[in-house]
């Protein structure tokens, strides 16, 4: 039977156990570090290093196998389904934080202001508190702060991220038409836009801390603002790194017009990060 028709079952891989050990030392180190045992910070870095090695090594193995044509279409389908469900799980992770935002805005804050069955909460505990959004809470933790408006930087960032989505799609069509030049340029543009977005985001944080006194500690508003944008930022970073890998692979001449899962997976991830940002822009910055 012809090779591509076979389902490839790899044997004895060291990468998973390496990854598990790496994660263990990472978490162990970080935990001790939280307990003020600073030295253990090094254990964490060691763990992170091991995880990095694992990721590189694991992906290298997969890429080689793929280039060696070991994978049938069925294997490709497995990868695609796997990636899809991974992204869905990521969506649910963000859902938890959006949930916190909605709960605080729609329920907790009004209750603290005496709504619903919380008349006495307001009367006896926070008679001076006016329910409003944004807020640092009844004791206005972190002191007064100014909010991050929807105009200006955030709007620009939205434009940037959306454009990056377009350039990536261009690259995607290009790879299907076998136009490598355009593919690599499209990817390159996407990566640049991604990095631009990140640096603007960093600038925005500095601005928030220095000029607006808007901090992680600024009550529920600061908490939700920084946790949501922060985790999104991490995902953009991750996406950008993966894009760079894919870009290099394109330059090296990997992928065919019909077999380019590596590219597609990352593309999906990037679009997911895009969509999350739209949600952020609407609910965190705008409304």
Partner 1 sequence: MSRTTSRWIGRIAAAAGSALAVPASAWADWAVNMPRGATAISGEVYQLHMLIFGVCVAIAVIVFGAMIWSIFYHRKSRGVEPAKFSHSTKVEIVWTTIPIVILIAMAVPAADTLVRMEDTRDSDMSVKITGYQWKWEYEYLDEGIRFFSNLAPESNRARQLGSGIDPRSVENYLLDVDNPLVVPVGAKVRLLLTSNDVIHSWWVPDFGGKKDAIPGYINEFWFEAETPGTYRGQCAELCGRDHGFMPVVVEVLPVAEYEAWLSDNAPAPQAEPAASTAAAAPAPAEDAAPSAASAAEPEAGSEQQAAAPAADGMTLEQAMSQGRNLHVQHCSACHQADGSGLPAAGFPALDKLAVGLEEHLEVVVHGRQGTAMAAFGPQLSDREIAAIITYQRNAWDNETGDVVQPDDVAAVR
Partner 2 sequence: MSTATHAEHDHGHHPTGFMRWLTTTNHKDIGTMYLVFSLVMFFVGGAMALVIRTELFQPGLQFVDPAFFNQMTTMHALIMIFGAVMPAFVGLANWMVPLQIGAPDMALPRLNNWSFWILPFAFSLLLLTLFLPGGAPASGWTMYPPLVLQTGDAFPFLIFSIHLMGLSSIMGAINIIVTIMNMRAPGMGLLKMPLFVWSWLITAYLLILVMPVLAGAVTMLLTDKYFGTSFFAAAGGGDPVMFQHIFWFFGHPEVYIMILPAFGIISEIIPTFARKPIFGYAAMVYATASIAFLSFIVWAHHMFTVGMPLAGQLFFMFSTMLIAVPTGVKVFNWVATMWRGSMTFETPMLFALAFVFLFTIGGFSGLMLAIVPADLQYHDSYFVVAHFHYVLVPGAVFAIMAGVYYWLPKWTGNMYNEKMGKLHFWITAISVNLTFFPMHFVGLAGMPRRIPDYATQFADFNAIATVGAFVFGFSQLMFAWNVYRCAKGGEKASAEVWEGSHGLEWTVPSPAPLHTFDTPPVVK
Restricted to residues 180-209, the positions that interact with partner 1 (CB under 8 A) are none
Query: Is residue 128 near partner 1 by the rule CB under 8 A?
Result: no
Q: Which residues contact 215 (CB under 8 A, 6 or more apart)?
A: 142, 145, 208, 209, 222, 226
User: Nearest distance from residue 152's CB to partner 2, in Å?
Assistant: 25
Among 26, 50, 51, 112, binds partner 1 (CB under 8 A): 112
The CA R_g of the chain, rounded to the nearest whole Å, is: 23
Yes or no: say if 53 and 15 are a contact pair by the CB < 8 Å rule. no
Question: Minimal distance in Å, beta carbon 137 to partner 1?
Answer: 9
In whole angstroms, what is the distance from residue 276 CA to residue 74 CA? 30
Name the residue nearer to partner 1 (CB basis): 125 or 282.
Answer: 125
What is the distance between the alpha carbons of residues 46 and 68, in angstroms, rounded to a whole number?
Answer: 33
Site stretch for partner 2 (CB under 8 A), options 191-199, 213-221, 249-257, 261-269? 213-221
Cis peptide before 28 (omega within 30 of 0): no
Distance of CA 190 to the CA centre of its chain: 16
Residue among 13, 123, 203, 282 that touches partner 2 (CB under 8 A):
13
Whichever of 37 and 234 has its CB closer to partner 1, that residue is 37
* Binding status of residue 112 toward partner 2 by CB under 8 A: yes
- Answer yes or no whether residue 200 interacts with partner 2 by CB under 8 A: no
In this chain, which of 42, 56, 77, 234 binds partner 2, going by CB under 8 A?
77
Task: Decide: 196 and 161 in contact? Cβ < 8 Å.
Answer: no
- State how far the Cα of 66 lies from the Cα of 51, in Å rounded to an integer: 22
Reference 276, options 239, 241, 244, 242; nearest CA is 239
Q: Is 30 near partner 2 (CB under 8 A)?
A: yes
Cβ-based neighbours of 273, under 8 Å, separated by 6 or more = 161, 232, 235, 236, 239
Give Cα 99 to chain centroid, integer Å.
17
* Partner in contact with 124, chosen from partner 2, partner 1, none, beta carbon below 5 to 8 Å by kind: partner 1
Select from 4, 118, 163, 213 the one that contacts partner 1 (CB under 8 A).
118
Out of 38, 89, 96, 120, name the contact with partner 1 by CB under 8 A: 120
Q: How far is the CB of 28 from partner 1 (least distance, A)?
A: 20
Q: Is 259 helix (H, G, I), strand (E, B) or coil?
A: coil
The verdict on 127 binding partner 2 (CB under 8 A) reads no
Nearer to partner 2, 17 or 248 (CB): 17
Q: Binding residues for partner 1, per CB under 8 A?
A: 111-112, 117-118, 120-121, 124-125, 138
């Amino acid at each position: 039977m012809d090779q591509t028709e076979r389902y490839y079952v790899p044997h004895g891989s060291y990468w998973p156990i390496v990854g598990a050990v790496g994660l263990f030392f990472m978490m162990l180190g970080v935990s001790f570090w939280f307990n003020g045992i600073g030295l253990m910070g090094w254990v964490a870095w060691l763990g992170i290093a091991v995880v990095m090695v694992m990721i590189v090594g694991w992906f290298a193995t997969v890429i080689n196998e793929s280039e060696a044509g070991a994978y049938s279409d069925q294997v490709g389908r497995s990868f695609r389904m796997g990636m899809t469900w991974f992204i869905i799980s990521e969506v649910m992770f963000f859902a938890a934080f959006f949930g916190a935002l909605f709960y605080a805005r729609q329920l907790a804050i009004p209750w603290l202001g005496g709504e619903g069955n919380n008349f006495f909460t307001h009367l006896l505990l926070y008679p001076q508190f006016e329910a409003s959004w944004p807020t640092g809470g009844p004791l206005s933790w972190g002191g007064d702060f100014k909010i991050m408006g929807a105009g200006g930087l955030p709007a620009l960032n939205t434009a940037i991220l959306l454009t990056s989505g377009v350039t990536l799609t261009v690259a995607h069509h290009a790879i299907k038409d076998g136009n490598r030049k355009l593919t690599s340029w499209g990817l390159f543009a996407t990566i640049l836009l991604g990095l631009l977005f990140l640096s603007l985001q960093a600038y925005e944080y500095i601005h928030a801390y220095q000029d607006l006194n808007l901090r992680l500690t600024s009550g529920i508003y600061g908490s939700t603002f920084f946790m949501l944008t922060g985790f999104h930022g991490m995902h953009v970073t991750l996406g950008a790194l993966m894009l760079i890998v894919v870009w290099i692979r394109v330059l090296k001449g990997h992928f065919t017009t019909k077999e380019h899962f590596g590219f597609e997976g990352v593309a999906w991830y990037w679009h997911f990060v895009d969509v999350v940002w739209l949600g952020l822009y609407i609910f965190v910055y705008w409304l």
